[in-house]
Amino acid sequence: MLLDELTQQAKLKTTNTIYESKAARDAFYQNQTWRNKRKEILRRDNNECQVTKSLGGVDKDKLIVHHIKPLEYYPELAMDDSNLITVSHTNHNIIHGLTLAKFNDEWW
């Protein structure tokens, strides 16, 4: 199941922590290069959650472009299409084991 795979990938860590701080992640996500890449991935994924799609459904609300291998530990994959997938806010929180109110990095 895609959700299980994404949850396992989200737990991967390395010693490369260039984006460990919230300020560093905020700077990355506010960068125009990222914003362009985000639009590209949303288009590629037809503006729908790929987790929900893998289960036969459609979810186009509150979409996040998720780094399959975490940005803070795999900065070399930050803009790699194969490391990016569109997921709903709800599924993104499930992947990271967060409550809906906790995760807010990409919502400004």
- pLDDT tens track, the chain, 108 positions: 788 888 887 777 766 677 878 888 899 999 999 999 999 999 999 999 999 999 999 999 999 999 999 998 889 999 999 999 999 999 999 998 887 555 555 554
Neighbour-count burial for 38-54, b at 16+ CB within 10 Å, e otherwise? beebbeebeebbbbbbe
Which helix H or strand E contains 35, and what residues bound it? helix 32-44
What pLDDT, on a 0 to 100 scale, did the predictor assign at position 44?
A: 98
What pLDDT, on a 0 to 100 scale, did the predictor assign at position 105?
A: 57
* pTM of the complete model: 0.81
3-state secondary structure of 2: helix
What pLDDT, on a 0 to 100 scale, did the predictor assign at position 93?
A: 93
What pLDDT, on a 0 to 100 scale, did the predictor assign at position 46?
A: 98
What pLDDT, on a 0 to 100 scale, did the predictor assign at position 1?
A: 77
